[in-house]
Structure 1
Amino acid sequence: MGQKDHRVERRLAAVFAADVAGYSRLMDQDEVDTLRTLTTGRDIMDRLIAEHGGRIANTAGDSILAEFPSAVNAVQCAMAVQEILAHANRDIPEERCIRFRIGVHVSDVMVRGGDLLGGGVNIAARLESLAEPGSVYISAATHAYVHRVLDLGFDDLGPMEIKNIAEPVHVYRVRNPGSSDPAKGKGGAVSLPIPSKPSIAVLPFTNMSGDPEQDYFADSMAEEVIAALSRFRSLFVIARNSTFTYKGKAVDVRQVSRELGVRYVLEGSVRRGGNRLRIIAQLIDATTGSHIWTDRYDGELSDIFDLQDRVTEAIIGAVEPSITLSEIERAKRKRPDNLDAYDCVMRAWPAVWSQDAETTAEALRLLERAIALDPSYALPKALAAWCHAQRVSYMRTPDPADDRAKAVKLAQEAASLDSDDPLVLTVLSAAYAMAGKFDLGLSAIERALILDPNSAWAWLRSGWANHYVGNSDRAIEHFQRSMRLNPLDPMHFNALVGIGGAHFGKGSYDEAARWVEQALREKPSATWVYRLLTTTYANAGRLEEARQTAAKLLEAYPDLTVTRAVEAAPGNPDILARYAQGLREAGLPE
């Protein structure tokens, strides 16, 4: 080998990695037909790579590694490959189709003897391995080059843990507008990739008591298990709001796996008769539908927390044996002394998150009763603080200063009772932000995420906390992380509003408007969002749209003024000044 062959050249390139999904299975079925079909597919791919200015660097069996001088060309080529191969597959039986998975990443690479080497190559290969058959996954670095240039849609899958890569990689799925999405399964739901760490969704437990009034009690069992599991950094745990969208439905766990992007699903039932409890739980590998374990737990009502702990420990033992019992002990939330107080909290829980003012008011009444029954119980104080904070943010209160003060007081009391509960710290962060104490809010939410890295709500509130102080890019990243942990969340729109707000903070007003418009399409009843959309349009110079949106805002809030709108929207002085000026230009009274 000559000296030239050892020379290593470095350059920036768009790395294109592809391989055939299920190649070994296809070869086992029919080697000759598979090789013939693969050769046809490779001929198509080789031609398209050349036509788009790419160079094939490495090949091995069913895989291809290519480089492009342009991210746009690489993604265009990837989509052309998938489109043409999908057309070629149309008359082939499903089980015999050759489908490629493709990943594209832009990075500095090393080239030696024509081969591509380096971390950027590894990331492209990992993106390809995450992709569904027939789909294209790209990194955020690639997305930055192509999303404004190509007429394509992008599904934001958020940061993902990738094997042997130290930092999470932000991932997007590429799709043609109006075309069928290869990542969609039966019923049209988007399939999400499964993280490299053990991942689990806890479905709502079935109430077997024969009394619909006991539904909340079954729900509380799932709540507590989710809360306990979420405290482990080595697990990926889907948030409650997503798993509870399956409540009351007969679902295939494999569908749950695809829609939530998890390997394991926990199902369970609760039977309560007088003071006796029976809990049955089963853990399933949802990618195959196979049962891992099933167990039954019997006890007195007074044993409820012990029973919950036993279920949690059994799950941990099955999916992550490296977690020690001492870590399980540290993950337990402080429990109330009074079971009636716990009962009130569980009844209030679903209502706390409602967008309906009366429903939230009822939740607050239940939480105040729980506080009276057990003043040492932190959770109802935290949730009550959140109710008061929402009254300010959603402009439901005639006295914002009073509700703001109550939110801070209750949140501080809850934190003094349980400073290690991530939910308590998340509420404390929100209350501090509402009071303009942004540094304290950031500290609280950072500690919450250390304690519970799986809390979708904590990531959401961290997005808002960072937005308030002008950390726009970090805010966007945290909003996106929240959406991945809670893909079916009914409050999904709130993260979209947050991303819009962060783009507003950056001065990217048209991009901000796009996200806020999407949020309102998802949740038209969230009329408070018109505040942000109105000022965004005005700051973008789209005054006619701003005036039309302001009219909708005033229809929902006839007495609204610029002063009151700004009072309900925390932020640093620069953001609030632009926020207020936009509302004035749109015609809101001072």
Structure 2
Amino acid sequence: MAETERRLIAIFAADVEGYSRLMGADEVGTLRDLTERRAVLDQLIASHRGRIANTAGDSVLAAFGSAVDAVQCAVEAQAALAKANAGLSRQINFRIGIHVGDVMIKGGDLFGDSVNIAARLQALASAGGCCISSVAYDQVKKILPLEFTDLGAQQVKNIEEPIRAYAVTSKGAATADIVGFATPASSGQLSLPDKPSIAVLPFQNMSGDPEQEYFADGIVEDIITALSRFKSLFVIARNSSFTFKGKAVDIKKVGRELGVRYVLEGSIRKAGGRLRLTGQLIDAASGAHLWADKFDGSLQDVFDLQDRITMSVVAAIAPRLDQAEIERSRRKPTERLDAYDYYLRGLAVVEGATKDENEEALRLFYKAIEIDANFALAHAMLARCFTLRKANGWMADVTKESAETTKLARRAVELGRDDAAVLSRAGYALARVAFEPEEGADLIERALALNPHLSSAWQFGGLLKAFRGEPETAVEHLAHAMRLSPLDPSLYSMQTATALAHFVAGRYDESVLWAEKASREDPNFLPAIRIIATSAGNSGQLERARKAAKRMLEIDPTFRVSKLSDHVPMRRPEDLARYAEGLRRAGLPE
């Protein structure tokens, strides 16, 4: 058994910008081009005395004994990769992040906060760029003939303290090529949809009370939901637009990264029983302000204020929408503001990564339906909580909790037959927990008919397609989900579903790559680890399979292959049989 050691190293994290989009457009061609680019990158890492550690698909994690070697390798690699891209229609652009810190090394792989920091720095870089931490900067600034741009302190996901970041460029390079200042031509930006497209950024909480943050976020969530009901609009999912929360944003950059023409931003002030919403609509390409207004009212008027700001935005960018769609967008989720308050609090923690967050979300949503027994969305979100408990192995009493999930999901559908968010979450819960895949799929199809821009519906629908033995359609659905929410913090869940689709298609190597990418984002996400074990087992990668199996049993010691159908509701017996065989080869107990 490999022992764990600690070491101070320079961590080099690289990832392909827009990989999901590229794969969705041309899977075979992208894999071919990526293989060629990886050969260039791997050779340069070796020539600078680096060692490749964790790697999966489009991502590379490498260790260097020196920050100078790591940064010099990054700059040379980006130059070589840019040359390889020259004249080609498909651009494979890497983003690179570098940090110096203490890491844990086990079996050749790297773990720890320092690895996470390097990965977050990589995410801050533009396509073809490099972003380094202040620790790395201090070690190279007087040695390498490079220029650095201070990007300030950056608050990044899952890292408590802000990280000071620096962009790197060769001396004499244009400012536009520095990380953080990418031009559209160099950024690998998403193409605009063939209809008006919009992202709603988190509104500023002007109340002076941090406890009201959930309220401001909830209002924006509802505005996004209302806008999403318009079939004439392309609306970015909440999880992606909220990655800009708490940051000073460049609207043009937001437009490029999310692939939208318009951006809505605003603020909310809640004082006593009064509420003020302000909003401004901006053309992301030019930065021009198209519309701005403020809306005042009592707290009891909160839904009316949301309606007014939504209608104003729609009037500015899509004035010919059907009146029926406008009326449907005005439907209130509940008449009880106290129930709505609990719902918003639950919404703020429901997709959290821990069991404690899940239990807190359950408590809050149960309070909401205790106050308003007819609150459809709260019922649906309770079903969602139990679905997450099932996926993560958190259920204390599987039989009892599964029955409760079924009851909540069916009640949600009964109360919210015309609400896409309700139908998609309830439908997936019925398929995943109650083992009713046909009924679940029908509900998700109805959700997509009501709101074709709901990222979660495409995600859940894609996963169910994989369960039903339709892998190609599943991959298409999931690629569309990732386009609707390209910066989604839960992207690992969509990547895991894509891994399952490739498993069903018998593409085991590709399945492993997608699942390992997801597992790096959430190392405790059992579905991703399980797919690594079975796909690696079926493809003869036994060391990789056994490593995943060991991790599975650390998280859930009760797992047995004979109980696989409790976890993976495959429709076709042959798919379930292949899945079980891969787990047996990985060494999991019968």
TM-score if structure 1 supplies the norm length? 0.71
User: Which residue is 2:412 aligned to?
Assistant: 414
Rounded Cα–Cα distance in structure 1 between residues aligned with 2:524 and 2:240: 20
Comparing 578-587 and 233-242, the one that deviates more: 578-587
AA partner of residue 148 (structure 1): R
When residues 306 and 146 of structure 1 are mapped into structure 2, their CA distance, relative to the original with a 3 A threshold, is closer
Specify the alignment match of 2:196 in structure 1. Answer: 198
Distance 2:32 2:282 in 1: 42
Q: 1:528 to 1:251 in 2, by over 3 A?
A: same
Secondary structure of 1:308's aligned partner:
helix
Task: Report the CA distance shift for 1:220/1:185 in structure 2 as closer, same or farther (over 3 A).
Answer: farther
What is the aligned counterpart of 1:305 among 303, 306, 311?
303
2:217 is matched with which residue? 219
CA RMSD of aligned residues (A): 2.5
CA contact (8 A) 1:284 1:292 kept: yes
> How far 1:585 moved relative to its partner?
2.0
Question: Could you report, residue by residue, the CA deviation over 1:493-544 in whole angstroms, capped at 9, with x for unpaired residues?
Answer: 1111111100100111111111111111232232442111111111112222
Are residue 259 (structure 1) and residue 257 (structure 2) matched? yes
Does the 8 Å contact 2:24/2:475 carry over to 1? Answer: no
Deviation of 1:409 (Å) = 1.0
- Secondary structure at the aligned position of 1:151 is classed as helix
Contact preservation (8 Å) 1:194, 1:263: yes
Is 1:574 aligned with 2:574?
yes
Match of 2:318 among 317, 320, 326: 320
C-alpha change, 1:143 and 1:417, in structure 2 (3 Å) is closer
In structure 2, what is the Cα distance between the partners aligned to 1:397 and 1:211? Answer: 35
Question: Once the 2 structures are TM-superposed, how far is the Cα of residue 193 of structure 1 from its aligned partner?
Answer: 1.9
Paired position in structure 2 for 1:437:
436
Residues 146 and 485 of structure 1, relative CA distance in 2, 3 Å threshold: closer
- Show the 5 A alignment for 1:39-438: 143-144=27-28, 147-148=31-32, 151-152=36-37, 173-175=90-92, 181=127, 186-187=179-180, 191-434=189-432, 435-438=434-437
Residues 303 and 515 of structure 1: is their aligned pair in 2 closer, same or farther, counting only changes over 3 Å? same
Checking the alignment, whether the CA contact within 8 Å between 2:511 and 2:535 is kept in structure 1 is yes
Tell me if the contact between 1:207 and 1:215 (Cα under 8 Å) persists in the aligned partners.
yes
Q: In the alignment, which residue of structure 1 is the partner of 2:49?
A: none
Question: Counterparts of 1:288 and 1:152 in 2: how far apart (Å)?
Answer: 34
Superposed displacement of residue 390, structure 1: 1.4
Question: Offset at 1:427?
Answer: 1.4
One-letter amino acid of the structure 1 residue matched with residue 31 of structure 2: H
SS in 2 for 1:352: coil
Q: In structure 2, do the counterparts of structure 1 residues 501 and 143 end up closer, same or farther at CA, with 3 Å as the change threshold? A: closer
Contact 1:391/1:403 (<8 A) preserved: no
SS at 1:294's partner residue?
A: strand
**3-state SS of paired residue (2:292):** strand
Give the Cα–Cα distance (whole angstroms) in 2 for the partners of residues 378 and 505 of structure 1.
Answer: 34
User: 2:107 matched to which residue of 1?
Assistant: none
Q: 2:428–2:441: 8 Å Cα contact kept in structure 1? A: no
Contact 1:429 1:441 (C-alpha < 8 Å) held by counterparts: yes
Name the amino acid aligned to 1:147.
Answer: L
Q: By how many angstroms is 1:196 displaced?
A: 2.3
Amino acid at match of 1:144: V
Which residue type is aligned with residue 257 of structure 1?
A: G
For these two proteins, the number of residue pairs brought into alignment is 441
Give me the whole-angstrom Cα distance separating, in 1, the residues matched to 2:24 and 2:363. Answer: 45
Cα offset, 1:199, TM superposition: 0.6
Q: 1:422 to 1:531 in 2, by over 3 A?
A: same
Distance 2:178 2:400 in 1: 50
What letter corresponds to residue 541 of structure 1 in structure 2? G
Q: Percent identity?
A: 45
SS at match of 1:297: strand
1:463-489 deviation line (CA, Å, top 9, x unaligned): 111011001000000110010110110
CA contact (8 A) 1:503 1:509 kept: yes
SS in 2 for 1:147: helix
Q: What secondary structure is seen at the aligned counterpart in 1 of 2:267?
A: strand
The equivalent residue for 1:107 is none
- How far off its partner does 1:398 sit? 2.7
Q: Which residue of 2 aligns with 1:560?
A: 559
Q: What is the DSSP-based 3-state SS (H/G/I as helix, E as strand, rest coil) of the residue aligned with 1:302?
A: helix
Find the structure with the greater CA-based Rg: 1
**Does the alignment pair 1:550 with 2:549?**
yes
- 3-state SS of the aligned residue for 2:232? coil
d(CA) in 1 for partners of 2:241, 2:371: 30
The CA distance in 2 between the partners of 1:142 and 1:455, in whole Å, is: 23
Amino acid at match of 2:588: L
Contact preservation (8 Å) 2:240, 2:488: yes
Question: 1:244, 1:333 → 2: CA distance?
Answer: 24
Structure 1 residue identity aligned to 2:223: V
| Cα displacement string for residues 316-353 of structure 1 (whole angstroms, at most 9, x for unaligned residues) | 00000111433210223442121100000000002111
More displaced stretch, 398-407 vs 494-503: 398-407
Residue 281 of structure 2 aligns to a residue in which SS?
strand
The normalised TM-score by structure 2 is: 0.71
In 2 relative to 1, CA 514–211 (structure 1 residues): closer, same or farther, beyond 3 Å?
same
